[in-house]
Structure 1
């Protein structure tokens, strides 16, 4: 799943460790989510959205939605 975490984090001048600490997860977990290697649980996605003051759908993009729209 694609996401805007790197951009949102950079806008705040946070390291991955800073963001992870605010979310109470490991830096490794945050890195896996940010790089698209791991999809967050729904509760964690809500926490991420609250942290960045955005809606879940504004942070995470479902690539299948793009495929369905053009099919």
Structure 2
């Protein structure tokens, strides 16, 4: 898998696990939301400085963002908050 796609998938997974929107991550990084979206889609060839900014914004180790997806999935899945399902009123 292309390293940019791997980074993007891990970025999205970490962002969702933290309960953050792309807008919030962008604010924390000091960039535009479209830049975060582009990174998540694997369209950006990021620098090490950007890797550090993303990791800091998400409060994760930079290596987590570059790890093969199967290595990061279990720890992040457990951290994700899932809203309870609403019951329909009849």
TM-score bucket (shorter structure): 0.7 to 0.9
TM-score by length of structure 1 reads 0.73
Runs of 4+ off more than 3 Å: none
Provide the TM-score with structure 2 as the length reference. 0.60
RMSD: 1.6
Q: Spell out, residue by residue over 1:15-68, the C-alpha distance to the aligned partner (whole angstroms, 9 max, x if none).
A: 111111110000011111111011222111111112223232210258xxxxxx
Structure 1: where are the runs of 5+ without partners?
63-71
- For 1:36, the equivalent position in structure 2 comes to 42
- Segments of structure 2 that go 5 or more residues without pairing to the other structure are 69-90
Does 2:65 correspond to 1:59? yes
